[in-house]
């Protein structure tokens, strides 16, 4: 039975987990390559060819994602029991190893274990996709509470459509290297 999950976490002490464009790009690469039953070597990841690697036995379908300076959101469909756990462990372990090496850091960079909220109905699913895609507006308006964001939909959309680190552009049909991350079933 396929199940849907909203996976999210933020940096320990609310600190950034993405400090520059290369950090975002590495996470996107790992988002793609971690979604496979076979192990991978992070040393073979290059920005030029990662999205052309043929993955064997994907663990999840990634429906939407957004990477923010100090947190991430990923909406997935689990393809087999335990697929979500295998996927997120590979992703977070690989990114933590990258981050710790790059910044001469040790230990965790995330605030505890990731959260995985079950998504059980279509209305919540649609709301979640919108929430994830409009999340970048929070960079410019961090104090705007969630229920008031609906009053700023046009501003949120205009800002978010220009944001590079979410799947919104894929939904809008823009051709990008990471387009292969998204599932449209």
Largest separation between any pair of C-alpha atoms in the chain? 45
Beta strands in the chain (DSSP E): 3-10, 60-68, 71-78, 115-119
Q: How many CB atoms lie within 10 A of CB 101?
A: 10
Provide the token pair at 136.
Answer: 């970048």
**What is residue 107's predicted lDDT score, i.e. its pLDDT?**
86
Parse the chain into domains and list their residue ranges: 3-120+165-181
Residues of the chain whose pLDDT is less than 70?
Answer: 1, 41-49, 141-150, 179-180, 182-185
pTM: 0.89
Residue 6, CA distances (Å) to 14, 69, 124, 132 in order: 19, 18, 11, 10
**What is residue 178's predicted lDDT score, i.e. its pLDDT?**
74
Q: How many CB atoms lie within 10 A of CB 107?
A: 7
**What is residue 144's predicted lDDT score, i.e. its pLDDT?**
65
Q: Is 169 exposed, middle or buried (0-12, 13-18, 19+ CB in 10 A)?
A: buried
**What is residue 151's predicted lDDT score, i.e. its pLDDT?**
79
**What is residue 39's predicted lDDT score, i.e. its pLDDT?**
79
**What is residue 91's predicted lDDT score, i.e. its pLDDT?**
96
Top-tier CATH class for 3-120+165-181? alpha beta
**What is residue 181's predicted lDDT score, i.e. its pLDDT?**
72
- Helices within 10-160 (DSSP H only): 21-33, 83-102, 122-134, 137-140, 146-149, 153-160
Would you say 9 and 114 are in contact if contact means Cβ atoms under 8 Å apart? yes
């Amino acid at each position: 039975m396929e199940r849907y999950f909203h996976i999210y976490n933020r940096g320990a002490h609310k600190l950034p987990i993405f400090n520059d464009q290369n950090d975002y790009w590495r996470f996107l690469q790992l988002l793609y390559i971690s979604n496979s039953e076979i192990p991978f070597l992070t040393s073979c990841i290059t920005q030029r060819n990662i999205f052309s690697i043929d993955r064997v036995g994907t663990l999840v379908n990634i429906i939407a994602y957004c990477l923010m300076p100090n947190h991430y959101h990923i909406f997935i469909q689990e393809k087999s029991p335990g697929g979500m756990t295998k996927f997120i462990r590979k992703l977070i372990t690989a990114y933590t190893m990258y981050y710790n090496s790059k910044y001469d850091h040790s230990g965790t960079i995330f605030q505890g274990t990731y959260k995985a909220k079950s998504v059980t109905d279509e209305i919540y699913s649609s709301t979640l996709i919108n929430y994830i895609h409009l999340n970048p507006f929070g960079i410019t308006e961090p104090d705007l509470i969630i229920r008031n964001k609906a009053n700023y939909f046009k501003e949120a959309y205009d800002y978010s459509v220009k944001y590079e680190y979410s799947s919104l552009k894929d939904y809008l049909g823009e051709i990008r290297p990471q387009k292969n991350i998204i599932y449209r079933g």
